[in-house]
Amino acid sequence: MSAPAQAPIESQREAFYGRADSQHLAPLWTRLKALVPAEPAPLCVAHRWAYADVRPFVLESAAHISAREAERRVLILENPGLKGSSRITSSLFAGLQLIMPGEVAPAHRHTQSALRFIVEGSGAYTAVDGEKTLMHPGDFVITPSWAWHHHGHDAEPGKGGPMVWLDGLDIPILALFNSTFREDHHTEQAPLTRPEGDALARFGQGLLPMGHRATSLNSPIFNYPYRRTRDALHALTRAGEPDPHLGHLMRYANPLDGGWAMPTMATMIRLLPAGFATQPYRSSDAMVFVGVEGHGEIRVAAQRFEIGPHDIVVVPGWLGYTLHAKADLVLFSYSDRVAQEKLGFFREQRLAG
């Protein structure tokens, strides 16, 4: 068709689109390739938060606002590609929370699920659904959806150090479904109804109480102590070589059904021996990595990110990456993989080196 003949057709189409717009209609054929691309096109970008750089800001926040006034004194880790969205990936939230000696972060509950990965400090605790647990660096702690919870630091003011942990929440997922609810407790601290260590004693020994019926999609264990996790990781090194693409990778599991520990966020921890480098790997879930022990590097396309203890690196979904250990490297990670698996669209690829 000649250019002069084509021009009237295009103008007629534009006029049609304009009339349709008055009825809040839009032509799919002008948007189809963007709505249904051949492969994921993530809006978030790969980025590293060096803990040495962000820690001073986290600690300074205590000089500006108390845990009680802030409710949760958290500095958001906002992806540079998602500025203003309060998201580290398209589907997940991340932030660094600080609590100082003598403080209490008041009790509330919400439909979002939350994970805590403890970064530094001692003396602080979280109380979840009536049970208190002390938190130690490397511990993975779960706050299930709609569970009363508060945080505190038992040391007297001026006699202990700061406690910092990474908060991971499924806030954007809940927002997508317009299912966000929250409620503040009428007291600052929710009542404690079970002894400390009760959940781990009941469900963390390879045994289960007779007659127990699950009341939550989360694991009944809400604190996975790092001392146990570390032992399990190092036991793997005596049983065989690391997976070429993943290293010695383990997932936190729900002891009731063997599934993921949380219903929307997949939590994992891995060990890479000194000098080991993974083969390229990619998956449809964007991954948030946290350095626990050792030092290494995460390479994403042409970018290289050093990662050591407490550093945080985000890798967008479907971007190939490799992990390189300079010293024995332990990495905690979380993503929305479990949600993707349940909905049937999780994909992964082991790429050639």
Task: State residue 212's pLDDT score.
Answer: 86
Q: Would you list the domain boundaries of the chain?
A: 47-350
The answer on pLDDT for 99 being more than 60 is yes
Task: State residue 223's pLDDT score.
Answer: 97
Per CATH, domain 47-350 is 3.20.20.150: no
CA quadruple 112, 309, 102, 76: dihedral sign: negative
Task: State residue 5's pLDDT score.
Answer: 61
Residue 4 pLDDT level (bands cut at 50, 70, 90): low
CA quadruple 248, 278, 93, 308: dihedral sign: positive
Task: State residue 160's pLDDT score.
Answer: 87
Q: Encoding tokens for residue 166?
A: 């990474």
Lowest mean pLDDT, pick from 134-143, 152-161, 329-338: 152-161
The answer on pLDDT for 339 being more than 90 is yes
Q: What is the mean pLDDT of residues 104-118?
A: 98
The DSSP line for 187-234 is SSSPPP-S-TTHHHHHHSSS---TT----SSS-S--EE-HHHHHHHHH
Task: State residue 2's pLDDT score.
Answer: 58
Q: When comparing pLDDT for 211 and 322, which is higher?
A: 322
Q: What is the mean pLDDT of residues 18-31?
A: 97
> pLDDT tens digits for 147-167?
999 999 998 887 889 999 999
**Residue recorded with tokens 């190939």:** 320
Residue 180 pLDDT level (bands cut at 50, 70, 90): very high
Specify the pTM.
Answer: 0.95
Q: Encoding tokens for residue 78?
A: 């906002």
Round the average pLDDT of the chain to a whole number and report it: 96
Cα–Cα nearest to 331, from 302, 295, 299: 295
The answer on pLDDT for 6 being more than 80 is no
Question: Are 287 and 335 within 8 A, CB to CB?
Answer: yes
> pLDDT tens digits for 263-290?
999 999 999 999 999 999 999 999 999 9
Task: State residue 156's pLDDT score.
Answer: 86
| For the chain, percent of residues with pLDDT exceeding 90 | 92
271 vs 257: CA distance, rounded Å: 25
The answer on pLDDT for 1 being more than 60 is no
What element of type H or E holds 97? strand 93-99
Neighbours of 253 (CB within 10 A): 15
Question: Are 69 and 79 within 8 A, CB to CB?
Answer: no
